[in-house]
Amino acid sequence: MKKYLYYLVLFLGFSALVSEVVNSFEETKLSYATFNSYKYFVAEEFKDTLCYAASGTNVSHDLKFYQGYLIKNKVEASLTGYKKFIDKIRLKNGNIPVWFCNINGVSELVFRTKSSPPNKPFFKIYFYVFCWIGSIYSLISLKKLKDEK
């Protein structure tokens, strides 16, 4: 039974590593940026030019998809969020306050609701680190099981 559990954890670690390689280590870079948030996140305003329902149907949902651009950086971007929340944080000029991060080609927008940038890494990186450490432990344990036979 232990052997199958080790193989499962090994598979999770391998798939997390493949996911990061395919996505050019985007989550790892973004998590690094949140640890150094004052260096990599910039206060920015998002000007929305197009807004439609995120579900893609004509059903009236509160979840909206906004397309537009950033005022200072002139970068095209998109946001998804609940209309009530966005209307609550929207500035008087109609723009949406966001934190913009651009680290080694990884661009990310985070809603700006307080004066300091985000300083906690996103949950996904914790899952990846757990999978990587677990897969290393599984490899060692499988080697020990093989040596015992």
Query: Predicted confidence band at 123 (pLDDT cuts at 50, 70, 90)?
Result: low
- Write out the two tokens for 122: 């996103």
Per-residue pLDDT, 3: 79
Query: Predicted confidence band at 55 (pLDDT cuts at 50, 70, 90)?
Result: low
For residue 118, pLDDT over 60 is answered with yes
Mean pLDDT of the chain: 78
Per-residue pLDDT, 54: 66
For residue 58, pLDDT over 60 is answered with no
Query: Counting every residue, how long is the chain?
Result: 149
Per-residue pLDDT, 107: 72
- Write out the two tokens for 28: 């790892």
Question: Which element (helix H / strand E) includes 32?
Answer: helix 26-35
